[in-house]
Structure 1
């Protein structure tokens, strides 16, 4: 089993392979599953933008993974998908509505047999029931590729700024 965030390869929003080690080594990363039509979207995207603006120059990055595994139940009859769009539309939405330009990756599943290997690993490292409960589950990754903490969907990004600052203050080498 992988020991570090840096060992994984994922697909970017254009379908190209990205080595997380090559892209993020030495940075602090917030990894988050996102959705454009979730009730948690406004607060999360707004705060992620503010945090990225404030800390990007110090080595913070945001790796956003669109996910359409979660849906709102409407009258227990119809489901409203929370991330039905394609990567290009998601990227345009985030940029236009929130002026946020995270590193956007291909749409994935975070739970079940079809879950992306990175997300399987993330869930195992900082388990809170071994599943992702909803959109906007966040993982804070150290400069060394280790998971510092997992934050649930309703935990607002600004609430863990102290953890981000502490991680940014640490050197990337032992």
Structure 2
């Protein structure tokens, strides 16, 4: 399966295929509004605003697998908007690991194994996808998004 065939659900309940972003580099992040790394929302929003005109799409996918998320995607999206000024698309709560992991995170994890294997280790794991839908790189939860801005620029 390629990334563009994967169906996701926006926080407002709308389902769509990632084909919507074909031709755009994507930065896909599993998020959690009660995680100690929430300060990264500022950096993600900075990158979103700086590069949206050049085609970058930042996509947030809340996950409660680490017990740090609100109960629904709509609640998480509202918290992100109100508390952190997030304007990039947020989605419904997904599982990122295990047999029930969302197909998107199954693909992302398989394509970019981390230091300790393919599973997502924590919230704010970030994945860079190029304009052709190739999963290029995985960034650790503690990697500040501004530290890999040059990587993003290379794919704009």
TM-score by length of structure 1 reads 0.85
Between Structure 1 and Structure 2, the one with more strand by share is 1
Q: 2:59 aligns with which of 53, 57, 63?
A: 63
Structure 2 gap segments, 5+ residues each: none
Q: Which residue of 2 aligns with 1:19?
A: 17
Partner secondary structure for residue 33 of structure 1? strand
Q: Which residue of 2 aligns with 1:151?
A: 139
Q: 2:37 aligns with which of 17, 37, 40?
A: 40
Structure 1 gap segments, 5+ residues each: 71-80, 169-174
Query: How far apart are the structure 1 equivalents of 2:65 and 2:35?
Result: 11
Q: CA deviation at 1:118?
A: 1.1
Partner secondary structure for residue 148 of structure 1? strand
Query: How far apart are the structure 2 equivalents of 1:33 and 1:20?
Result: 16
Query: How far apart are the structure 1 equivalents of 2:24 and 2:83?
Result: 26
Q: CA deviation at 1:87?
A: 2.1
Q: Which residue of 2 aligns with 1:164?
A: 152
How many pairs align?
154
1:12-161 equivalences in 2 (<5 Å): 12-21=10-19, 23-42=20-39, 44-70=40-66, 81-128=67-114, 129-161=117-149
Q: Which structure: larger Rg? A: 1
Partner secondary structure for residue 104 of structure 1? coil
Query: How far apart are the structure 1 equivalents of 2:78 and 2:5?
Result: 29
The superposition leaves residues 107-158 of structure 1 with CA deviations (integer Å, 9 ceiling, x where unpaired) of 0000011100111111000111110000000000101111111001011100
